[in-house]
Chains A and B, each alone.
Chain A
């Protein structure tokens, strides 16, 4: 069964460092998403991406965040200068259709900022 894969599974970084989280969506999917979950809280939407541009972003997704699809398979989330409050689980998701259909999630990347 096709799946969404994420790397790394866990990353520890120092405050102020840049972090790139990588995702390989399901191959025929066109719509990509990043969500974030701070420990003990609910899963929050960060950004949606289609046709090489952002479709929508939340208030969390400020100038420190960026996304790109550099090579047609990977979908990356970059945090330019990490803060302590960026410590969270980051989930990538994809689906084949715009506004309907099941969303498939990766297993998550846990980011710890010290």
Chain B
């Protein structure tokens, strides 16, 4: 099956700093989503971005499908950004819908 690798595995930032999280995948995809898992374990959908660039406030994401990677940018980080960020991809066979990466654990310190 498709492999999804996220980097870095862990990241510690000071409040106000910017960061870039990366997701590499091993095959062509027709679905890519970024999630934030909050301290209560809920998966918050950040972006549905199989290709192109999207922005939502301080967050933005870019997927370059032809080169098999996606980037999530967090600007002016806040303590509430802490948590685990997951990238998940889907292929055109569709039956499993999404395969998740192992996540990037982000800690934003005041």
Contacts and interface: CB of A to CB of B under 8 A. Distances in A.
Contacts of A20: none
Nearest to B49: A102
Interface string A32-75: 01010100001111001000000110100000000000000000
Given A31-B97, A42-B101, A45-B97, A102 B86 contact: no
B95 A55 contact: yes
A108 B45 contact: no
A43 B100 contact: yes
Interface residues of B, number: 26
Chain B contact residues: helix, strand, loop or mixed: loop
Nearest to A89: B41
A42 B41 contact: no
Nearest to A54: B95
B94 A43 contact: no
Contacts of A99: 30, 90-95
A93 B97 contact: yes
A95 B48 contact: no
Interface string A90-106: 01010100111111110
Contacts of B43: 43, 91, 105, 107-108
B31 A43 contact: no
A110 interface: yes
9 contacts: A33-B97, A35-B100, A45-B96, A95-B97, A99-B93, A100-B31, A102-B48, A103-B97, A103-B98
Interface of A: 31, 33, 35, 37, 42-45, 48, 55-56, 58, 89, 91, 93, 95, 98-105, 107-108, 110
Q: Which 4 A-B pairs have the closest CB atoms?
A: A99-B94, A56-B95, A102-B48, A43-B100
